[in-house]
Amino acid sequence: MTRRLFTVGEALAVFLADAVDRSTGDVGGAEAHADPPGRLAKATRFTRIVSGAEVNVAAGFVAAGHRATLVTRVGHDALGQAVADQLDGLRLDASVGFDAHPTGVLVRTIGGVERGEAVHLRHGAAAEAISPADVDNAWTPDIDVVFVTGITAVRSASAAAAVQRAVELGRQSGALIAVDPNLRPALADRAAFAAALAPLRGWVDIAIGDVDELAVLAGLMPASDVAVDTVVEALRAQGCRVVVVKRGPDGAVAIDDSGTATVGALVAAADVVDTVGAGDAFAAGFLAGMLESATLEQALKRATHAAAEVVLTRGDIPWLSDKEDSR
């Protein structure tokens, strides 16, 4: 049986710098040897893709054989139309509003274990105008899981209210509520994320993130001083059924009433091409597994396999990047 995920967030026009082989000067893909840090200032060729945490999770959920509804806003501009067109290509049920504000833009390089450079052109973008009414207009009675992030909640009062409305509707309908805090220092500091996520505490069924992100979700500050066990206990005490702790190259751990499951990373650090989007693929894989009644360990393995597929390729959504490169 197919399941449906509902999410609300920004769909970005991402300009991904093409890698350059230092030995030849030729533009290449994942096989090219990336220039050292600072190369974004010298980049002249880019591949445009669509991305955004919620976009990536929705796309991964669809790729797993399910359905996903995405609520977003883009600008009344060429990039907004391009983003809308690419969302159609991902087979999402995308509810796209066209706004007077510009489409959000991210310009970045690829990066292995150490992330590359990124320039965020997102403040004042159309996604900040996402509203509870947008959520209401897109809501359907067949939602099985609502997925939200701190990225959207921290953007504006309107966007935060939209996130809260999605969670409220999910709780009323009996859907699972999954939250990834997804801290992004380029958008706001930890305190701002903590304040934006505070209204969701006590409403979360599945929490996914690294220990710092989960500590912020739990309201434990400063996050850097909090032990993993303390974070897990706090979230569980707030009603969270499943806590998933991502540990980067050390794999991940998931805890629920049945116990603890642990998996290791599948990709060696030396083989990592681009880490951006791996956490989103992980979340999509884990949620798909849970909704298919997989065991905790099975869902965690599925999530890890999904993340591995992303880190071995350029771009946040491998199958979309491959299509763009083949044109």
The domains of the chain are located at 4-10+52-103+130-325
Tell whether the torsion through CA atoms of 71, 73, 78 and 79 is positive or negative: negative
pLDDT for the residue numbered 84: 97
For residue 37, whether the previous peptide bond is cis, meaning omega lies within 30 degrees of 0, is no
Report residue 119: phi and psi, to 5°. -120, 120
Q: Give the DSSP H/E element, type plus range, for residue 105.
A: strand 105-108
Whether the per-residue pLDDT at 88 is higher than 80: the answer is yes
Burial of 117 (0-12, 13-18, 19+ CB in 10 A): middle
pLDDT for 96-142, tens place per residue?
A: 999 999 999 999 998 755 667 899 999 999 999 999 999 999 999 99
pLDDT for the residue numbered 128: 98
92 pLDDT band, cuts 50/70/90, is very high
Structure tokens at 159: 């966007």
- The packing angle between helices 211-218 and 190-197, to 10°, is 50
- CATH of the domain spanning 4-10+52-103+130-325: 3.40.1190.20
Check if the beta carbon of residue 322 is closer than 8 Å to that of residue 52.
Answer: no
Alpha carbon distance 200, 204 (integer Å): 7
Question: What is the pLDDT averaged over residues 208-224?
Answer: 89
Average model confidence (pLDDT) across the chain: 89
Query: Radius of gyration (Cα) for the chain, nearest Å?
Result: 19
